[in-house]
Amino acid sequence: MARKQVYSIKRVITRDELEDRIKKIETEVRVLKRLYFIHHLYLGDNIEEASEKVCISVPTGYEWLKRWNEGGYENLIPQFDGGAPGKLTSEQQKLLDQYIKDHDPITSKEVKKYIKTKLEVEYSDMHIWRILRGKNLHYGKPFVKDIRRPDNAEEILKKTR
């Protein structure tokens, strides 16, 4: 059986620089698709035909045309705002941080219950997990305590040594 050939890669730029370049080109590709849509309109297609040619929905086509008419090329560049604002205010975030700090170790169920009862915001289990990961808290199995262990186990251990 033949041995697989191993290839190495020369790291010309850092990983972060590579990811930045990829994002920039992805944005340019989005703009190119929008320019093709406008080009089809220039050639006499109606919005439905131009939308079908660049594989977008008709309402998206109307949105792109509106942006083009309002500001030309600059308005076709995607503007990512970062999504909807979070449900917890910065003050509530501080309260949550303090609660987690005071009750270490803590389970995600306890955090969810605290957020629901005290902060009056409801999140799914998955979102609670994301919040905790965002605070650099990670899952860990708790230390198991043996119920048969006597209260003075360490003293007994010292005596036997």
8 A C-beta contact, residue 96 and residue 115:
yes
Instruction: List CB contacts of 115: < 8 A, sequence separation 6 or more.
Output: 88, 96, 121, 122, 123, 128
Same domain, 118 and 143: yes
Q: Which of 135, 136, 115, 133 is nearest to 124 (CA)?
A: 115
Same domain, 155 and 89: yes
Decide: residue 28, CB within 10 A, 0-12 exposed, 13-18 middle, 19+ buried: exposed
Question: How many structural domains does the chain have?
Answer: 2
pLDDT digits (tens, 9 = 90+) for 116-145: 999 999 999 999 988 888 888 877 776 777
CA–CA separation, 112 and 127 (whole Å)? 9
CA–CA separation, 52 and 46 (whole Å)? 10
Mean pLDDT, rounded, for 6-35: 88
Which of residues 30, 59, 76 is at a domain's end? 76
Q: Which of 5-14, 37-46, 106-115 has the highest mean pLDDT?
A: 37-46
Q: Which of 90, 102, 100 is nearest to 133 (CA)?
A: 100
Residues spanned by the domain of 151: 84-161
> What is the pLDDT at residue 142?
67
Same domain, 93 and 62: no
pLDDT digits (tens, 9 = 90+) for 50-99: 999 999 999 999 999 999 999 999 999 888 777 788 888 889 999 999 99
Q: Which amino acid is at 82?
A: G
If pLDDT is split at 50, 70 and 90, which confidence band does 1 have?
low
Global pTM value = 0.50
8 A C-beta contact, residue 92 and residue 114:
no
Same domain, 113 and 62: no
Same domain, 63 and 34: yes
pLDDT digits (tens, 9 = 90+) for 10-20: 888 888 898 88
Half-sphere exposure of 131 (CA within 13 A, CB side): 22
Sign of CA dihedral 10, 15, 21, 23: positive
